[in-house]
Chain A
Amino acid sequence: MNQKGRFGIYGGQYITETLMNALDELEKSYNKAKNDPAFVGELKRLLAEYAGRPSLLYYAEKMSKDLGGCKIYLKREDLNHTGAHKINNALGQALLAKYMGKTRLIAETGAGQHGVATATAAALLGMECDVYMGKLDTERQALNVYRMELLGARVHPVESGTGTLKDAVNEAMREWSCRVSDTHYCLGSCMGPHPFPTIVRDFQAVISEEARAQILEKEGKLPKAVLACVGGGSNAIGSFYNFINDKDVQLIGCEAAGRGVDTPETAATMATGSIGIFHGMKSIFCQNEEGQIAPVYSISAGLDYPGIGPEHAYLASIGRASYVPITDEEAVCAFEYLAKEEGIICAIESAHALAYAIKIAPTMDKDDVIIVTLSGRGDKDVAAIARYRGRDLHD
C-alpha cells in the first residue's frame, strides 16, 4: 500500500489521474509555506485581526450547575468572523492558494458555512470564487446562498445524485479536473485525497492549541473529555489534535444519527458505515453491501455526509477517540436548552456535541472539566428548528 498521506490504513490518494499533479503541487507548496515565516505570520495576523482569534473558552456555569455534574467549558468557534470554525481553514487555504499563484477558489458546501467562509476569504484576498452546493441545500439554506453572492461568489446548484453535500463534492472535483492551472479546490473538511486531510487538520488545530492553553490557565489541569460534532470531521479533528498525546483526555466525536441509527434516515457513519474508498480516501462510509454510497439524512445540512475523514477512522481504530450517534431530536433539545440556559444560539451541528455533553455531565464528578466545541452559531438554523417544532417562519 502506498504510504503517502496515510493514517494507519486510512487515507491515500484515490483520485483521477488528471488531478494527481495538482495534489502533488499542493503538497509541496504547503510543506514550503508552513515553514515560511512570511506565510505563517500573515495567516496568524489574519486569524487574529480579521477572524477574531483566539476564540473564547467560556465556562458555562449556569448550565453546569443545572446539569449537576462536571464543569462544562464551551470553545466558542461560533464567535469567529462568519460564525463558524470554517474560516480557520478557508483563510489558510486561500492564503496558500495565493502563495501558489492561483487566482480562483472553488469549494463545496453543505449548510453553506464553508461556502460563506471561502467566499469571504476570496473577497478579502481578491480572488475569483465558485461554490458548488446541492440543489436541496440551496433551498434549505437560501440565506447563505445570497450571503455568498453578496461576497462576490457564484453559487452553482448541483442537481445530480441526492442534491446534497456529497454531490457538491463530486461536482467540485469535476470542476477542478476541468480547470486546475489557475484554480485551487478549497476543500472544507478533513477528508478527500492527501494532502487535504492533513492541511485541513493543521489549519483547524488552532482550536485545540488555544483550548489546551486556555483550560490549563483557567483550571490548572487538562479536561476529562473533549467533545465535538463530526460530519467530515474538521472541527472535531481541530478540537482533538493537540490533546491526542494527552492519553487521559477522552476524545468524543458526536455524529448525526438523524431519525436514529436503526433507520435508513441517518448520517452516523461510524455507527452504521463500513470501510470503503470514496472521494479520494480510504475511510469509513455509509454504503450498501456492493459499495454504492448511501443517501444519508440529518436535520443538520453540515453533518449530512456519508463519510468521515481518514484520521478519525484511524483514531477510532486504535481506540484513541470514540464516536457516538445523536438523533435530530436530541440535537434540537440541546439547541433549545443552550439558548434558554446560557443565552447562546449555537449551530444545529454543534448541538449534537452539546447533546452528548448533557448526557454525560451529570454522571461526572463536580471537579471534572469537559470542553465542548461550539463549531458555529445557529442563526442559519432558526427557521429549520421552528419548522421542526411545527412553526413556519417566513424568512
Chain B
Amino acid sequence: MTKTLKAFENKKAFIPFITAGYPNADASVEYILAAADAGADLIEVGIPFSDPTAEGPVIQKADMVALQNGMTVKGAFEVVERVRKVKPDLPIAFMTYINPVFKFRGDAPEGVETEPYVPFFERCKADGIDALILADLPFEEQEEVLSVSDKYGVDLISMVSPTSEDRIRRIAKSPRGFIYVVSSMGVTGVRSSFAYDTIGNMVRLIRETNPSVKCAVGFGISTPEQAEKMASISDGAIVGSAILRLIAGGGTKEDVYNYVKSMKDAVDRA
C-alpha cells in the first residue's frame, strides 16, 4: 500500500488543498503545517499554473498571486521539503496541470535534453510526494505519464465527474491511490448545494467496479455539513477554494487550523 492510502486509515479522510506560494512561500508552509496539525489526512499542495482552466476565481487568483510573488515548480518542491521536515509521515499530493510537469527539467543544465516527466518524478520521490493530481490529464492520456510515475512510486490520481457515465468503469478498473470524484459540473469554487444522489451514484459505480478503491469528493465543498454529507456517501472530502478564500481574507494559521479541525470533525461524524 502506498502512503497516499494512509489518508483513509483514520476514519473518513479530510483533504485540504493549499496553493504553494500563496500568498508567499513562507506563509504557505505555515498554512500547510496548521492544516496538518488540525488533523488533515492528506494535503494537496497546488503548484500554481498561469492558465488554470479547471479553477474558479479563488484558485485562479491564488495561482496568479503565487506566481507574481515568485513561486516556481522548484519553489513548490521546496515548500514540501520544509513541510516534510516537520511532518515525515503526512501523505502529500501535488495538484497542478500537465505542462509544468512535462516541462520540468530539475537541475539539468541548459542545453541538456531530459526525458519528459522523469526529472519531475525523480524529485517527487526524493521529496516524498506521494501522489499527483493533474486537472487536464484524462484517463486516455495517462499512459505517457504513468509509465514514469509508477516507476518512481508516485500515485497518479484519476478523476471522475458527473458526465463520466460509462467511462467510470474504465477509470475505476486499476486506479492509483484514490479516485477524485468531481462533485458537480464546472470549475472549482464554493457551491451552495449539491446533487448528492448523483455523487452517490458515481461512488456506487466506482465501488461496483472495484470494491477496494477509495473515493474522495471535491469541488465546491465549504461547510462542515457538506463535508459530513460527502464523507457519508464516500471515503472523504476535498476542500480548496474555501480555505484559500479564508487565507485571501487575511485568515491566520490559527484560522486555518480551526477551520480544518471543524471539517475533520465533521467527516469523522459521517
B118-168, CB < 8 A from A: 135-141, 143-144, 158-165, 167
> B99 interface residue, CB < 8 Å from A?
yes
Knowing A21-B165, A292-B100 are in contact, say whether A280-B136 is a contact too (CB < 8 A): yes
Chain A residue numbers with a CB within 8 Å of B104 are 290-291
Interface residue stretch chosen among B28-36, B50-58, B209-217, B238-246: B50-58
CB atoms of A20 and B99 under 8 A apart: no
CB atoms of A21 and B164 under 8 A apart: yes
Knowing A276-B99, A291-B103 are in contact, say whether A16-B72 is a contact too (CB < 8 A): no
User: Which one of A1, A16, A285, A287 lies within 8 Å of B53 (CB-CB)?
Assistant: A16
Taking the nearest CB of chain B, how far is it from the CB of A321, in angstroms?
A: 24
Interface residue stretch chosen among A166-174, A239-247, A248-256: A166-174
User: Which one of A20, A21, A173, A287 lies within 8 Å of B103 (CB-CB)?
Assistant: A287
Knowing A4-B140, A161-B51, A177-B186 are in contact, say whether A21-B100 is a contact too (CB < 8 A): no
**Number of residues in B with C-beta < 8 Å to the partner?**
44
Taking the nearest CB of chain A, how far is it from the CB of B100, in angstroms?
A: 4
User: Which one of A17, A160, A278 lies within 8 Å of B182 (CB-CB)?
Assistant: A17
CB atoms of A17 and B161 under 8 A apart: yes
Taking the nearest CB of chain A, how far is it from the CB of B151, in angstroms?
A: 17
Chain B residue numbers with a CB within 8 Å of A291 are 73, 99-104
Compute how far the CA of A19 lies from the CA of B138 in the bound complex, rounded to whole angstroms.
9
User: Which one of B51, B73, B140 lies within 8 Å of A20 (CB-CB)?
Assistant: B140
> B270 interface residue, CB < 8 Å from A?
no
Chain A residue numbers with a CB within 8 Å of B54 are 16, 174, 177
> A125 interface residue, CB < 8 Å from B?
no
Compute how far the CA of A17 lies from the CA of B102 in the bound complex, rounded to whole angstroms.
19
Chain B residue numbers with a CB within 8 Å of A14 are 98, 136-138, 141
Q: Main SS of chain A's interface residues?
A: mixed
> A271 interface residue, CB < 8 Å from B?
no
Contact with B along A271-310 (1 / 0, CB 8 A): 0000011111000010101111100000000000000000
CB atoms of B51 and A278 under 8 A apart: yes
**Which A residue sits closest to B72, measured CB to CB?**
A290
CB atoms of A160 and B100 under 8 A apart: no
> B86 interface residue, CB < 8 Å from A?
no
> A83 interface residue, CB < 8 Å from B?
no
Chain A residue numbers with a CB within 8 Å of B101 are 291
Chain B residue numbers with a CB within 8 Å of A285 are 99
Knowing A290-B72, A290-B100 are in contact, say whether A17-B159 is a contact too (CB < 8 A): yes
> A178 interface residue, CB < 8 Å from B?
yes
Knowing A2-B143, A292-B50 are in contact, say whether A18-B99 is a contact too (CB < 8 A): no
Chain A residue numbers with a CB within 8 Å of B162 are 18
User: Which one of B51, B140, B160 lies within 8 Å of A293 (CB-CB)?
Assistant: B51
CB atoms of A290 and B163 under 8 A apart: no
> A12 interface residue, CB < 8 Å from B?
yes
CB atoms of B187 and A177 under 8 A apart: yes
User: Which one of A17, A22, A177 lies within 8 Å of B160 (CB-CB)?
Assistant: A17
Give residues in A with beta carbon < 8 Å to B. 1-2, 4, 12-22, 160-161, 166-167, 170, 173-174, 177-180, 276-280, 285, 287, 289-293
